[in-house]
């Protein structure tokens, strides 16, 4: 992604559909002291801590599994109808640290591999590289991960002498594809994990940014046999800078000298070697955010979800206007796109190669940036696809950006002499 | 350490020389809003950021290498007479994350090993386990790491076909031994690193807690050939909960496709796969702490350093009174101890095995806790030694605790039937 940042830096006037950053319009530094105080009061009044213990919670080395686990459990109950053992929650330095911990725990040697839909979130691929764990790609369609191909890939890996330990899935509005799994597929996936004896690593950063339709249950809510390890993040729902995420890991595992413990305890032991505990100051800030919103992130994200919904509509309508069957764009239907029902991303397919060189040309000659999809396929596919991210744009910028994109698309591939 | 926490939990009335936690008497939650505001003003006035960029710094995904690097550079200039390139600083989730990043970067395969004085800080040993890197122990004396043995161990490792990449050192008041290196040894160590082509990983969490004597220069200050990677931590100087540390890594390295970059940039790339960036809220809190103290941690730690100095004196005087040659303790000189010139730890040698079973007896029958030193030797040595930590105790607790320790020591080893 360094190359993409470099291009973005060289064309500051370009409209950028490349930045996947959350919307910034509601940031307010005066919220921090208020939320820290709200968490302090929560500790004193609700949790019944002494003044010394309150101060200790803010400043001293803390509980490895975190100090806002009870507030997180309340949020999961309220917003996801998920009842979890608070001891199965590990609060982490963003969901990214949670992924690293889980993969590090699952990877005993090079025979242990993990599966993921291709295209995949680059942060997950980065975590696998950090712990030297191989990823086996699984096909993805409009409805998310292809379950038949998942079975094929699991069995193929086993035939090669490998141990497929888990499959990484983003069931709602995946990054980068925007795909959402049907209820039927969610149920089938949970059953498949049980049959094939693998874990599911469910990542759920975008669920509240639905297009207004009924939300489907998480995999964790359908999980009857503790097959699902659930990653949560406050980066999109509160703010990313805090770096507060968590993992729910309620699987029973055996730990030498301790007998049966929760997978969360095994993760905590690894965390004690990695970051000791998640910043208490950052936990307190997010804890106060939760308290202020009665632990409902659905409620907390209402304003920003409306922004994303408006922008998603503007992008989809704008694409139809410029490239749809009645748009006059020639050749007709040469440009296609998916229609996610929520989230922060739309994928557009172009009739020519849209790689880093094409992006450079798009930026220099047309003033519009986007992300080449091949980066999410590890460079193995997606060469005609681009990801449009619209989270930080205004409707006016979207209009202007799509006009520029249409001009770029109309020029077709540049033929080098 | 779980076992030790367990014992501590079962004997809440015991005087604990086991807890290595920082002193808690100056914690004050009202400092947080004030320090956040101080950092905000610093960004606006000194760094010249626009209001939007200030808000972005607090809430958005941030610079991988951190946002308080310039304040840290000022602190190093002021307190350590160290002039460092601000681009060589990576702000991390405590020094613990910095250790993991550095070791992960140095470990290409199982041939890469790291050296460390035994006994060693358990956090460092944990980081090596997390990245699957072998540690070669080096002898330690009253003056810190034994340089002759270091040369022997480096050469022995090479003879075994291994690649010794670095040696981990705490030159001032090491944890657990309390040992401090002489100026001459510091110079020799830096030269030796150059001759033997290894890096030095210098960890410096306790330097301000000197006994009032002149401070010696850090290894980094003596480093003329960029052999020293320097770990800094605000856990003992500000507060541990924030989880803010950093690494200075100004070594030139080659990175594929980027030519020569700083080692810090290679670490940042790994960090982008581990935690993305260090919590901006926590960085802002510590940034404000630095601003309030004019970036001098020597000044910021004056009060707490006086507490540690008083307690170190109370422990050393108390040991002399109870076990010294004129104390009447029999057999005379059976109990010995070192005399660190600062820091948070004293090591006592007992005339019998002081392991976890002895600790249990000490807790149950005498009401005093300490840490068996064999834990810091990976269970290979130190069976007659105990670490006394005095950072959270009052002088009265120290007196009472040492009385109890004397009673325990007087009973000698328990002979099982």
pLDDT for B219-265, tens place per residue?
Answer: 999 999 999 999 999 999 999 999 999 999 999 998 776 778 999 99
Asked if A314 and A275 sit in the same domain, the reply is no
Write out chain A residues lying below 8 Å of B259, CB-based.
Answer: none
Q: Which residue intervals of B64-182 are DSSP H helices? A: 69-80, 94-106, 122-130, 147-159
Asked if B269 and B322 sit in the same domain, the reply is no
Res A403 pLDDT > 70: yes
- For residue A416, is it within any domain? no
- From B358's Cα to the closest Cα of chain A, the distance in A is 20
Q: What is the CATH number of the domain that holds B316?
A: 3.90.1150.10
Nearest to B279 among A27, A28, A243 (CB): A243
Tell me, yes or no, if B153 comes closer than 8 A to chain A by beta carbon. no
Tell me, yes or no, if B276 comes closer than 8 A to chain A by beta carbon. yes
3-state class of B190 per DSSP?
A: helix
CA separation for the pair B135, A266 (Å, rounded): 23
Beta carbons of B61 and A277 less than 8 Å apart: no
The β-bridge relationship of strands A336-337 and A345-349 is antiparallel
Note the pLDDT of residue B3.
77
Q: Could you tell me what percent of chain B has a pLDDT over 70?
A: 98
Asked if A320 and A207 sit in the same domain, the reply is no
Q: What average pLDDT score do residues B178-198 get?
A: 97
Write out chain B residues lying below 8 Å of A120, CB-based.
Answer: none
A231 exposure class (CB count in 10 Å sphere: 0-12, 13-18, 19+): buried
Nearest to B33 among A36, A62, A104 (CB): A36
Beta carbons of B273 and A241 less than 8 Å apart: no
The mean of the pLDDT values for chain A is 95
- From A233's Cα to the closest Cα of chain B, the distance in A is 12
Q: How confident is residue A8, by pLDDT bands cut at 50, 70 and 90?
A: confident
Write out chain B residues lying below 8 Å of A280, CB-based.
Answer: 241-243
Interface of B with A in 206-265 (CB under 8 A): 235, 239-244, 258
Beta carbons of A273 and B36 less than 8 Å apart: no
Asked if B306 and B220 sit in the same domain, the reply is no
The β-bridge relationship of strands A385-389 and A371-372 is antiparallel
Tell me, yes or no, if A115 comes closer than 8 A to chain B by beta carbon. no
CA separation for the pair B177, B340 (Å, rounded): 8
Nearest to A243 among B21, B29, B277 (CB): B277
B21 exposure class (CB count in 10 Å sphere: 0-12, 13-18, 19+): middle
Chain pair A-B, CB pairs under 8 angstroms:
174
Q: Could you tell me what percent of chain A has a pLDDT over 90?
A: 89
CB-CB neighbours of A112 under 10 Å? 17
Note the pLDDT of residue B414.
61
Asked if A116 and A256 sit in the same domain, the reply is yes
Measuring CA to CA, which residue among B409, B408, B399 is closest to residue B366?
B408
Note the pLDDT of residue A174.
95
Note the pLDDT of residue B165.
98
Res A125 pLDDT > 70: yes
Asked if B259 and B399 sit in the same domain, the reply is no
Asked if A156 and A87 sit in the same domain, the reply is yes
Write out chain B residues lying below 8 Å of A59, CB-based.
Answer: 24, 27, 239-242
CA separation for the pair B66, A243 (Å, rounded): 13
CB-CB neighbours of A346 under 10 Å? 24
The β-bridge relationship of strands B112-117 and B134-138 is parallel
- For residue A126, is it within any domain? yes
Peptide linkage before A231 cis (omega within 30 of 0): no
- For residue A417, is it within any domain? no
Residues B300-341: tens digit of each pLDDT: 999 999 999 999 999 999 999 999 999 988 888 899 999 999
- For residue B58, is it within any domain? yes
CA separation for the pair A309, B325 (Å, rounded): 80
Q: Which residues pair with A280 in a beta bridge?
A: none
Tell me, yes or no, if B29 comes closer than 8 A to chain A by beta carbon. yes
Nearest to A56 among B24, B96, B129 (CB): B24
The Cβ-side half-sphere exposure at A79, using a 13 Å CA radius, reads 24
**Domain of residue A317, residue span:** 2-20+301-411
Res A255 pLDDT > 80: no
Asked if B115 and B46 sit in the same domain, the reply is yes
The mean of the pLDDT values for chain B is 95
A246 exposure class (CB count in 10 Å sphere: 0-12, 13-18, 19+): buried
Q: What is the CATH number of the domain that holds A163?
A: 3.40.640.10
Name the residue in chain A with its Cα closest to that of B95: A275
* Overall number of domains in chain A: 2
Beta carbons of A235 and B61 less than 8 Å apart: yes
- For residue B322, is it within any domain? yes
Tell me, yes or no, if A52 comes closer than 8 A to chain B by beta carbon. yes
CA separation for the pair B68, B91 (Å, rounded): 7
Domain end point (choices A260, A275, A294): A294
Which residue in the block uniquely carries the two structure tokens 């699952």? A106
Nearest to A100 among B37, B240, B274 (CB): B274
Write out chain A residues lying below 8 Å of B99, CB-based.
Answer: none
Asked if A97 and A207 sit in the same domain, the reply is yes
Tell me, yes or no, if B127 comes closer than 8 A to chain A by beta carbon. yes
Res A237 pLDDT > 50: yes
**Which of A279, A284, A344, A356 would best serve as a mutation to test chain B binding (most B beta carbons within 10 A)?**
A279
Nearest to B60 among A21, A28, A61 (CB): A21
A294: left (phi over 0), alpha (psi -120 to 50) or beta: left
Asked if A81 and A127 sit in the same domain, the reply is yes
Which residue in the block uniquely carries the two structure tokens 């009335």? B13
Name the residue in chain A with its Cα closest to that of B56: A24
**Which of B21, B110, B273 would best serve as a mutation to test chain A binding (most A beta carbons within 10 A)?**
B273
Domain end point (choices B297, B327, B358): B297
Note the pLDDT of residue A29.
97
Asked if A307 and A245 sit in the same domain, the reply is no
Q: How far is CA A285 from each of CA A243, A282, B24, B36, B291, rounded to the nearest angstrom?
A: 11, 5, 21, 12, 21
Asked if B225 and B313 sit in the same domain, the reply is no
Beta carbons of A32 and B28 less than 8 Å apart: no
Q: Which residues pair with B135 in a beta bridge?
A: B114
Domain end point (choices B248, B276, B297): B297
Residues A277-333: tens digit of each pLDDT: 999 999 999 999 999 999 999 999 999 999 999 999 999 999 999 999 999 888 888
Nearest to A126 among B54, B273, B279 (CB): B273
């Amino acid at each position: 992604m360094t190359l993409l940042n470099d291009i973005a830096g060289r064309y500051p006037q370009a409209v950028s559909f490349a930045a996947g950053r959350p919307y910034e319009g509601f940031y307010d530094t005066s919220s921090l002291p208020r939320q820290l105080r709200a968490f302090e009061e929560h500790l004193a009044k609700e949790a019944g801590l002494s003044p010394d213990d309150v101060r200790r919670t803010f400043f001293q080395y803390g509980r490895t599994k975190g100090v806002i686990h009870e507030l997180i459990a309340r949020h999961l109950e309220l917003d996801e109808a998920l009842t979890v053992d608070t001891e199965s929650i590990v609060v982490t330095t963003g969901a990214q640290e949670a992924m690293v911990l889980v993969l590090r725990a699952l990877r005993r040697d090079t025979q242990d591999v993990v599966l993921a839909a291709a295209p995949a979130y680059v942060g997950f691929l980065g975590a696998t590289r950090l712990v030297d764990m191989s990823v086996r790609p699984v096909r993805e369609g409009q409805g998310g991960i292809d379950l038949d191909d998942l079975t094929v890939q699991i069995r193929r890996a086993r035939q090669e002498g490998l141990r497929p330990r888990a499959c990484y899935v983003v069931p709602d509005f995946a990054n980068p594809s925007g795909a959402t799994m049907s209820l039927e597929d969610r149920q089938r996936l949970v059953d498949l994990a049980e049959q094939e004896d693998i874990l599911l690593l469910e990542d759920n950063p975008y669920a509240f940014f639905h297009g207004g339709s009924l939300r489907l249950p998480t995999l964790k809510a359908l999980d009857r046999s503790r097959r699902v390890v659930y990653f949560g993040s406050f980066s999109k729902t509160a703010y990313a800078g805090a770096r507060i995420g968590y993992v729910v890991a309620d699987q029973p595992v055996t730990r030498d000298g301790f007998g049966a413990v929760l997978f969360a305890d095994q993760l905590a032991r690894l965390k004690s070697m990695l970051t000791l505990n998640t910043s208490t100051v950052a936990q307190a800030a997010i804890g106060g955010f939760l308290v202020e919103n009665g632990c409902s992130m659905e409620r907390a994200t209402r304003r920003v979800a409306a922004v994303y919904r408006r922008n998603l509509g503007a992008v989809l309508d704008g694409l139809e206007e410029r490239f749809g069957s009645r748009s006059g764009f020639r050749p007709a239907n040469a440009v296609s796109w998916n229609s996610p029902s929520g989230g922060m991303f739309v994928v557009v397919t172009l009739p020519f190669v849209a790689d880093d060189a094409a992006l450079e040309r798009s930026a220099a000659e047309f003033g519009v940036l986007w992300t080449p999809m091949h980066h999410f396929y590890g460079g193995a596919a997606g060469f005609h696809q681009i990801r449009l991210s619209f989270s930080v744009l205004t409707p006016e910028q979207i209009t202007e950006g799509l006009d520029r994109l249409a001009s770029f698309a109309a020029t077709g591939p540049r033929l080098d002499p």
